[in-house]
Amino acid sequence: MKRICLLLAILTVTLSAHSQHKPRPDAFPPLPEAVETKAVTMATSMEEMLSWDRYPTYSVYLQMMEKWANDFPQLCHIDTIGTSVKGRLILSLFIETPSTNNLYRPEFFYSSTIHGDEVTGFVMLLRLIDTLLNGYGNNPQYTNLLNRTRISINPLANPDGTYYLGDNTVQGSVRYNAHHVDLNRNYPNPFVSSKATIEPENEAMINYFDHHLFRLSANLHGGSEVMNYPWDSFTSLQNPHPCADWWIDVCKRFVDTCRTYNNSHFRDVTSSGYIAGGDWYVIHGGRQDYFNYHNNCLELTMEVSTTKTLSSNRLPEYWNFLQHSLVNYIEEIHSLPENNGIANSKVIFYPNPTVGFIHLSHPVFSPIELFGVDGHPLMQFPSGTVTLDLNNLPAGIYLLRYDGNTTKILKQ
Ligand SMILES: [Zn+2]
């Protein structure tokens, strides 16, 4: 009886927890939104983007990225992350100011519109690039932030979905890529083995992450307004993210700042404006969980507008309440939790035994110390090192200490 009561209690808690939230639009095929009834105006020249109340054509988007790289060559360059199924470019603007010292500057990543019809974030990130670059040297907050941080911004992760009907309009944009695959269900599932073919857009993004050391990122979506922090693959009761408390603080700051500019936003899913992804709706194959788990990058999903394809004349209104939070979120990279707890359980040192070099499956947060079996310290490698050169050590057994863990390795 007691057991039944307990089960009922759990069921009740679970049901009531779910009933508090609307179903996740993100989890379903797109609703037949009346996109055609919305005023979607396209900018067919860069001049027409000046008031930020239009969506750029694909060509204008490329021109904007090129212009920034040309106008601010000391501050940024274009990274080509890859190409879409139809050969459109997946670009990022990498902002890195001239170094006045050799201090470590962590890498941050913003990305938007992995769902091609969720286009608000596309324009928000374009405008963010413009604001940061033009603010450098003028705005003390932006200048200080850029001097301490390397920032990569990918405004459009799924160009084939966004320009589904052609390069000149985002009318008729779709969620999927040109293979009709939902890219945010197509990442390798870190927790369940899957044989799904990884789409070229995602393959390119994975490769880009593997060549960087992003510590914090966000993926912008639309269809709701809520900060969705990891995990998406589990409810918080099943498996809370090791940094859940930190995520809640970060989300709260983001939402509170938005609401100081417009108190009506971030209210359609929870009253707080944030939620652990799986408590809203469990999904598998999402980008957020993959990069948290595989790349030790703290990534969350920002749902930034209740409408997926926002009327273009409302874009400035959304920028007004989002802009400060978007900048402040980058700042959070300078107060990351000391250890996100994932590296502890996951890092693999290989090959082991080794004849010279040892590689790490991904970076750890602390310096890596090497000891003899008697505990005598021998070598130390800085945080972020992913290859250890042990060529000069005699054969034998050694201990590597990192993030509070110890691993035994054998040098042959
Ligand atoms: Zn989405």
Rg of the Cα trace of the chain? 23
Q: What are phi and psi of 176, to 5 degrees?
A: -90, 170
How many folded domains does the chain comprise? 2
Q: Which helix (H) or strand (E) holds 14?
A: helix 2-19
Same domain as 159, residue 123: yes
Same domain as 364, residue 231: no
Contact 107, 152 (CB under 8 A): yes
Same domain as 143, residue 68: yes
CATH of the domain at 353: 2.60.40
Q: Which pLDDT score, from 0 to 100, does residue 339 have?
A: 57
Spacing, Cα 118 to ligand 1 middle (Å):
6
Looking at the domain assignment, is residue 13 inside a domain? Answer: no
Q: Which pLDDT score, from 0 to 100, does residue 369 have?
A: 92
Q: Which of 335, 359, 375 is the last residue of a domain?
A: 335
Same domain as 399, residue 269: no
Compute the C-alpha angle 321/327/329, nearest 5°. 100
Contact partners, residue 177, CB within 8 Å, separation at least 6: 84, 85, 116, 158, 160, 161, 183, 199, 201
Spacing, Cα 24 to ligand 1 middle (Å):
10
| Boundaries of domain holding 400 | 349-411
Spacing, Cα 30 to ligand 1 middle (Å):
9
Same domain as 271, residue 248: yes
Q: Which of 308, 335, 362 is the last residue of a domain?
A: 335
Report the distance separating Cα 164 and Cα 136, nearest Å: 35
Spacing, Cα 27 to ligand 1 middle (Å):
8
Report the distance separating Cα 345 and Cα 347, nearest Å: 6
Spacing, Cα 117 to ligand 1 middle (Å):
8
Spacing, Cα 273 to ligand 1 middle (Å):
16
Same domain as 181, residue 47: yes
Compute the C-alpha angle 70/61/183, nearest 5°. 120
Looking at the domain assignment, is residue 73 inside a domain? Answer: yes
Residues near ion ligand 1 (CB < 5 Å) are 26, 115, 118, 221
Query: Strands, E, within 272-360: which ranges?
Result: 274-276, 298-305, 349-350, 357-360
Spacing, Cα 25 to ligand 1 middle (Å):
8
Helix (H, G, I), strand (E, B) or coil at 20: coil
91: tokens are 């670009």
* pLDDT tens, residue order, the chain (412 aa): 434 333 333 433 343 344 345 555 554 444 444 444 569 999 999 999 999 999 999 999 999 999 999 999 999 999 999 999 999 999 999 999 997 666 778 899 999 999 999 999 999 999 999 999 999 999 999 999 999 999 999 999 999 999 999 999 999 999 999 999 999 999 988 776 667 799 999 999 999 998 888 999 999 999 999 999 999 998 998 888 888 999 999 999 999 999 999 999 999 999 999 999 999 999 999 999 999 988 889 999 999 999 999 999 999 999 999 999 999 999 999 998 865 545 444 677 878 888 888 887 666 767 899 999 888 999 998 877 778 999 999 999 999 988 778 889 999 9
Spacing, Cα 174 to ligand 1 middle (Å):
11
Spacing, Cα 222 to ligand 1 middle (Å):
6
- Report if pTM > 0.85: no
Contact 269, 280 (CB under 8 A): yes
Same domain as 353, residue 324: no
Q: What are phi and psi of 55, to 5 degrees?
A: -95, 140
Looking at the domain assignment, is residue 25 inside a domain? Answer: no
Spacing, Cα 187 to ligand 1 middle (Å):
14
Spacing, Cα 292 to ligand 1 middle (Å):
18
Torsion of CA 92, 95, 101, 107, to 10 degrees: -50
